[in-house]
Amino acid sequence: MSASVKTDLVAKARNALDLNLPLTERILHSFIRNEVHKFGFTRAVLNLSGGIDSALSAYLAAGALGPENVLALLLPYRESNPDSRSDAEAVVAALGISSKLVEITPLVDSYFAEFADMDVKRRGNVLARARMIVLYDQSVAFDSLPLGTSNKTELLLGYSTLHGDMASAVNPIGDLYKTQVRQLSRHLGIPQPIIEKPPSADLWPGQSDEGELGFSYEDVDHVLYLLVDERYRPEELIAAGFERDFVERVARVVQSMQYKRRPPIIAKLSQRTIERDFRYPRDWGR
């Protein structure tokens, strides 16, 4: 009996995650225009990795602001998969946006040379943060706002680098689960190889998201949807037939990564502390 309950819940999640694509596209285009323009900008810049998430942000930005107002930064490291660069170049060519190639190898290798014992995780975080430095600097040079490329799955799982690839001014795709990123990417005509290749942060050779996480995006999106959007309790999903270890692990990761989704905490001393009781919208006066 529990197996059929699980089947029903999976079907429910699948239906809910199935996007109304034209409507989603319209809201996100308008979102980018609105939030970029009201801060006095007409242009946006983003790091284009060759992966599906940044490709989607680039397609949305080009559709919203016009290709002439979007700059894509290609920021390879010497160990980066060459396919990443050629996939990013395919996006640039397809959209007719401008691009700038900045090798980050000299920037990071001089630092790596100082700390020979760094593991791949530390090195990966340095790469992500070096790319953030370039993004924010180029955003000034291009008189533009930096666009985000983190999706909801990765934000919930904390599968990203704080102050690295998570850094942006405006993120159009942060409320789309990974499986929804794929749907919208197909709808917008993103080149098939980018949609179909196994997702990877490409921070070290052979890295794969699903290998590292230990589950498929489709499975985790269903569980995340039920836990987060529908507020099922983990015990309810387990009772319905979802695998206990999987559900508990997902719930634990979402909780333990909460710090990445919040600004740094501030020791409260005064009557009115920033964020706690000094509360203003970001679009204050816009």
Partner 1 sequence: MTCAVERLNAQLLPERTQKPLQSFRIGLAQINPHLGDVSRNIQKHVDVIAQAETQAVDLLVFPELSLNGYFLEDLVSETAICLDDSRLEPLFEASQHMSLLFGMVEESADQRFYNSGVYLEAGQAHHVHRKVYLATYGMFDEGRYLAAGEHLRAFDTRFGRLGVLICEDFWHPSAVSVVHADGADLILGISSGPGRGVSGESQDLRSAQTWHNLNNLYARMFTNYVVYCNRVGYEDGVNFWGGSEVVGPDGAVIVRAPYFEETLVTAEISAAALRRQRSLLPLLRDERLDLTYRELRRIYRERYR
Among 11, 27, 239, 274, binds partner 1 (CB under 8 A): 27
281 touches partner 1 (CB under 8 A): yes
Q: Does 221 bind partner 1 (CB under 8 A)?
A: no
Nearest residue to 108 (alpha-carbon basis) of 124, 95, 93:
124
3-state secondary structure of 145: strand
Nearest residue (CB) to partner 1, 255 versus 279: 279
**Interface segment toward partner 1; rule CB under 8 A; list 12-20, 66-74, 109-117, 160-168:** 12-20
Stretch that binds partner 1, among 30-38, 80-88, 118-126, 132-140 (CB under 8 A): 30-38
Under 8 Å between Cβ of 86 and 93: no
Contact yes or no for 103/73 (Cβ under 8 A): no
Full strand arrangement of the beta sheet holding 43-47: 98-101, 70-74, 43-47, 144-146
Q: Does 188 bind partner 1 (CB under 8 A)?
A: no
Instruction: Tell me if 81 contacts partner 1 by CB under 8 A.
Output: no
Counting contacts by CB under 8 A, is residue 121 touching partner 1?
Answer: no
Cα–Cα dist 235/39, whole Å: 45
Contact flag: residue 35 with partner 1 (CB under 8 A):
yes
Give me the helices (H) in 72-177, please. 82-95, 105-114, 120-141, 152-157
Give the binding site for partner 1 (CB under 8 A): 15-21, 23-24, 26-27, 30-31, 34-35, 170, 278-286
